[in-house]
Amino acid sequence: MAFRKAVVPVWMSKSSENSNKRYSAYKELDKLYLNTRISWTAKNRILDRWESPEKAVQTIKNDPYSLIEEIYGIGFTIADAIAKNLNIAHTSEKRIQAGIQHVLRDRIQMFGHTCVPVDYLVKDAAFILDLKLDLVEPEIDKLIEGLKMIKDNNMISNHFYHKAEKEIADKLLGILKHTNTLEYQSPDARTLMRDQMEAIYRVIDNNVFILTGAPGTGKTYTIKAIIDMYKGASIAMAAPTGKAAKRMIEQTGQHASTIHRLLGPYFNKMTGGFEFKHNSFNPMEYQIIIIDESSMLSTWLMYKLLDAVEENTKLIFVGDTYQLPPVGAGYILGDMLNSGIIPSVELNIIKRQDPGLIITNCHRIKDGKDIISAKGKDKDFFFIESNSTYDMKEKILEFMDHKIKEKFPEVDILKDVQIVAPLREKTLCSCKSLNEEIQKTLNPNPYITKCRFKVGDKVIQTKNNYEMGIINGDIGYIQSIDMSNKAMVIQFEAPDRMITIDAWKNELQLAYAITCHKFQGSENKIILIPIHKSFGSLIMQRNWIYTAISRAQDVCVLIGQRAEIPKIIDRDYQIQRNTHLERFLREKS
């Protein structure tokens, strides 16, 4: 595959001297990329990474596997294909070690493990390397000796996750043992049920506490009672997402923010990257910190949070253990609960007199029972039968285009309705397919040349961008597009703010339909969920459908194959995440 000629001036513009030499190096790079499926973006990143094309060629020839660490977008498969073009031996030490590190990294990024059993790592690495086990095992020992990996309890992890889980355990236990002398007012027991009162007493007696419960069990009311009990104390409330933080504000009347904003991100000119203002050298000075949607806490975020917390702080984690695990690596809430070391209470009594079918079905699903759908009017849960993905897509478009307006005229289709789909790509009812169709159907604004978005589009940020104040998962609405300046103005919500973004180089996707993981921690008035056997059993499990349905505030509509629902609910065998935290908490307590 040849380079685009447009890339050549990047090099030529740096110096007109030695242009023939540069062009030869440029062509040599082109040969190294043959049959590698490397993207144009990755090619350009390589060009930008080194001072000259000659330097790039020299570096790649010395060690093509170094590209995995140096260049975002290049993984083991591409680096290995380049190594093959360089005739690097199939059994070379660098290749085997790169393959082992690739497997560990893949298990962290794709499956959420923070560590991998040695035997599994050897077998998986041998498989992708197409080598015998006895060639792989010695290279793991060398990586451990070279401090590239760490072995503990017959598990292999990288140094960050091993250190992070150790320090999380140490900090939690340190806070738990600390004597807290916060004054409190006795709660009004007449307004609280028995399980809520038990939670209140546990909060008083312990500096770290976990409150869990399914929708409608009174978690928010209990938190409000705790806030009232500690009037006069400095309290911070935060959640992993902006929408969850906004919901905390609406439900408690207190200020709340994302955990990222609570920690205060800033650009460090010395390191050239973003860091948090609050850390062990500059801890937060709150007496109580309440974290909602704690099931979403990854090891990385928990590590950063606790690094900025003093040991005389009272920590309260609120979450729902029946939801999906976090997108990032780790199993923080589950590990804390399973350790038996952190005091906790699960609220399991529905507190509302008329809970409605959304809450009722969430409880039925967590208990392994089939859902109930509404037959009459003025209900909050509906199932629309459809057997083919094509018909499902048409029904979703019809629902979005005019049925919602007929049934709920006061609803803002962009802001109050969210499609939660299982898959980002593949099938006619994937996020990608639905987004393209809904953009055509719902957004009458014209397409703009060389821009995939239209004015009025609903979009979601897919990576943290602290410089612009946008967090992964933030949803916004395009207000204007100025292609002469290559700029888009977007109104982001939770909190509301206007931000100007590069129209070409951005980390945005259409958000009429998004995955359940992306929408976890958020809610909307109306949720639409496609259901079909073609989505596969790996994703369509009990905790997936439970999480998707629990995102609905007022109305939940499922569209698809009704017979699939009991099968999905029966699948309660999600992958168990390998971590050290639960063991560390037990051993260190």
Q: Pick the last residue of a domain from 127, 157, 187.
A: 157
Whichever domain contains 258, its CATH number is 3.40.50.300
In this structure, what token pair is assigned to residue 420? Answer: 């939660």
Confidence of residue 345 (pLDDT cuts 50, 70, 90): very high
Q: What is the mean pLDDT of residues 202-231?
A: 96
In this structure, what token pair is assigned to residue 294? Answer: 């704690």
Q: What is the mean pLDDT of residues 417-421?
A: 97
Element (H, E) at 421: strand 417-421
In a domain, 222, yes or no: yes
What are the tens digits of pLDDT across the range 178-204?
987 899 999 988 999 999 999 999 999
Strand order in the sheet with 508-510: 497-502, 487-492, 475-482, 458-461, 508-510
Q: How far apart are CA 326 and CA 206, in angstroms?
A: 26
Mutual angle of helices 159-177 and 299-307, in 10-degree steps: 50
Confidence of residue 7 (pLDDT cuts 50, 70, 90): very low
Task: Report the alpha-carbon angle 32-33-37, nearest 5.
Answer: 155
Residues 171 and 147 in one domain: no
pLDDT of residue 180: 78
Q: What are phi and psi of 52, to 5 degrees?
A: -150, 160
Residues 153 and 172 in one domain: no
Of 10-14, 108-112, 130-134, give the lowest mean pLDDT range: 10-14
Residues 335 and 267 in one domain: yes
pLDDT more than 70, % of the chain: 96
Residue 17, pLDDT > 80, answer no
Q: How far apart are CA 149 and CA 142, in angstroms?
A: 9
Residue 13, pLDDT > 60, answer no
Domain span holding position 124: 19-157
> Which amino acid is it at 209?
F
Q: Which residues 6+ apart lie within 8 Å of 176 measured at CB? A: 206, 207, 208, 341, 342
Q: How far apart are CA 584 and CA 169, in angstroms?
A: 6
- Look at the block and give the residue holding tokens 């943290």: 464
pLDDT of residue 236: 98
Residue 424, pLDDT > 50, answer yes
Confidence of residue 10 (pLDDT cuts 50, 70, 90): very low
Residue 58, pLDDT > 60, answer yes
Q: How far apart are CA 562 and CA 421, in angstroms?
A: 16
Q: What is the mean pLDDT of residues 72-87?
A: 93
Nearest alpha carbon to residue 241 among 522, 582, 527, 485: 522
Residues 289 and 271 in one domain: yes
Q: Pick the last residue of a domain from 157, 180, 203.
A: 157
- Specify the long-range contacts of residues 482-490, CB closer than 8 Å, at least 24 apart: 483/448, 483/449, 483/450, 483/451, 488/453, 490/459
CA distances 123 to 68, 134, 164, 574, Å, are 21, 10, 26, 22
Dump strand ranges (E) for 493-523: 497-502, 508-510, 513-515
Residues 189 and 240 in one domain: yes
Element (H, E) at 418: strand 417-421
Q: How far apart are CA 462 and CA 470, in angstroms?
A: 9
Q: What is the mean pLDDT of residues 231-238?
A: 96
pLDDT of residue 53: 80
Task: Report the alpha-carbon angle 160-164-588, nearest 5.
Answer: 135
What are the tens digits of pLDDT across the range 369-399?
999 987 655 589 999 999 999 999 999 999 9
Nearest alpha carbon to residue 238 among 201, 276, 268, 267: 276
Residues 166 and 144 in one domain: no
In a domain, 361, yes or no: no
Relative to beta strand 417-421, strand 381-385 is: unpaired
In a domain, 7, yes or no: no
Residues 87 and 57 in one domain: yes
Residue 5, pLDDT > 50, answer no
Residue 497, pLDDT > 80, answer yes
pLDDT of residue 287: 97
Question: What is the count of structural domains for the chain?
Answer: 3
Q: How far apart are CA 51 and CA 28, in angstroms?
A: 16
β-strand partners of 212: 319, 346
Q: Residue 42 in contact with residue 68, Cβ under 8 Å? A: no
Neighbours of 10 (CB within 10 A): 13
Residues 101 and 216 in one domain: no
Residue 11, pLDDT > 70, answer no
Residues 279 and 230 in one domain: yes
- Specify the long-range contacts of residues 115-119, CB closer than 8 Å, at least 24 apart: 115/152, 115/155, 115/156, 115/157, 115/161, 115/162, 115/578, 115/579, 115/580, 116/155, 116/156, 116/157, 116/578, 117/154, 117/155, 117/156, 117/578, 118/151, 118/154, 118/155, 118/156
R_g over Cα of the chain: 26
pLDDT of residue 50: 84
pLDDT more than 90, % of the chain: 76
In a domain, 503, yes or no: yes
What are the tens digits of pLDDT across the range 239-293?
998 889 998 999 999 999 999 999 999 888 777 778 999 999 999 999 999 999 9
In a domain, 543, yes or no: yes
Residues 104 and 182 in one domain: no
Q: Residue 517 in contact with residue 324, Cβ under 8 Å? A: yes
Residues 445 and 472 in one domain: yes
By the 10 Å C-beta count (0-12 exposed, 13-18 middle, 19+ buried), 202 is classed as middle
Q: Pick the last residue of a domain from 124, 157, 190.
A: 157
Q: How far apart are CA 543 and CA 547, in angstroms?
A: 6
In a domain, 360, yes or no: no
What are the tens digits of pLDDT across the range 127-184?
999 999 999 999 999 999 999 999 999 999 999 999 999 999 999 999 999 987 899 9
Q: How far apart are CA 208 and CA 289, in angstroms?
A: 10
Residue 456, pLDDT > 60, answer yes
Q: How far apart are CA 17 and CA 187, in angstroms?
A: 79
In a domain, 209, yes or no: yes
Residue-averaged pLDDT of the chain = 92
> Which amino acid is it at 432?
K
Q: Residue 524 in contact with residue 351, Cβ under 8 Å? A: no
Q: How far apart are CA 370 and CA 535, in angstroms?
A: 19
Could you write out the DSSP letters of every residue in 304-317?
A: HHHHT--TT-EEEE
Confidence of residue 19 (pLDDT cuts 50, 70, 90): low
What are the tens digits of pLDDT across the range 565-584?
999 999 998 778 999 999 99
Q: What is the mean pLDDT of residues 229-233?
A: 94
Can you give 440-452 as a three-state secondary structure string?
Answer: HHHCCCCCCCCCC
Q: How far apart are CA 212 and CA 73, in angstroms?
A: 38
Relative to beta strand 508-510, strand 497-502 is: unpaired
In a domain, 358, yes or no: no
Residues 40 and 145 in one domain: yes
